[in-house]
C-alpha cells in the first residue's frame, strides 16, 4: 500500500474565501438597494398624499365659492353639490375638514399636515361645518337659508 501525504492547497482556500466575500458584498448591495427603494416609495407616497389632500381642499373650496355665488344671485336660493374626494381609503390619517367664514381648513389629528384655503366671503352667507374624512368618498356643500355648510349627508331637497 502506498501512503499519501496531505498537501496544503492554499488556492482552494482562497477561492472559498472569495466566494464568501462576494456573497457578503452582494448581500450588502442588495440591502442598500432595498433601503433606497423603500425610501423612494415612502417619499412618493407622501408626495401623492399631499397632492391628493391639496386637491380635496381646492375642490371643496371651489364648491363653497359656487354656493356663495348662488347666494349672491338669490338670497333665498338652495344649492347642494357633491364633491368627490381622493384618498377615501386612507382612514389612518385621521383627517378633519372644517369650514369657517374666511377659509376651508384641513388637518390631521397630530397637526403634522395642516393647510387652509381662503374663501372670498363676498356673499352674505354664514359658513360652518366639520367633517371627519375617514372612509368618505363624497362631501356635500349645501346652501340653505343663507348658510353654507359642508356635510356628509345628502340634503334631500
Biggest CA-to-CA distance, the chain: 117
Give this prediction's pTM.
0.74
Residue 105 confidence (pLDDT): 93
Which of 150 and 46 is assigned the larger pLDDT? 150
Residue 123 confidence (pLDDT): 78
8-12, 29-33, 48-52: range with highest mean pLDDT: 29-33
Buried b (16+ CB within 10 A) or exposed e, 117-140: bebeeebebebebebebeebeebb
pLDDT at 1 over 60: no
Amino acid at each position: 500500500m502506498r501512503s499519501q501525504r496531505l498537501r496544503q492547497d492554499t488556492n482552494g482556500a482562497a477561492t472559498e474565501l472569495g466566494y464568501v466575500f462576494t456573497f457578503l458584498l452582494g448581500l450588502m448591495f442588495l440591502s442598500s438597494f432595498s433601503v433606497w427603494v423603500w425610501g423612494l416609495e415612502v417619499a412618493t407616497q407622501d408626495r401623492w398624499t399631499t397632492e391628493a389632500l391639496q386637491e380635496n381642499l381646492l375642490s371643496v373650496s371651489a364648491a363653497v365659492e359656487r354656493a356663495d355665488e348662488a347666494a349672491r344671485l338669490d338670497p333665498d336660493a338652495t344649492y347642494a353639490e357633491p364633491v368627490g374626494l381622493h384618498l377615501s381609503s386612507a382612514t389612518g390619517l385621521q383627517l378633519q375638514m372644517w369650514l369657517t367664514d374666511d377659509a376651508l381648513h384641513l388637518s390631521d389629528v397630530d397637526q403634522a399636515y395642516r393647510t387652509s384655503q381662503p374663501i372670498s366671503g363676498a356673499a352674505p352667507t354664514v359658513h360652518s361645518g366639520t367633517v371627519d374624512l375617514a372612509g368618505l368618498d363624497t362631501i356635500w356643500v349645501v346652501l340653505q337659508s343663507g348658510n353654507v355648510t359642508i356635510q356628509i349627508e345628502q340634503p334631500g331637497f
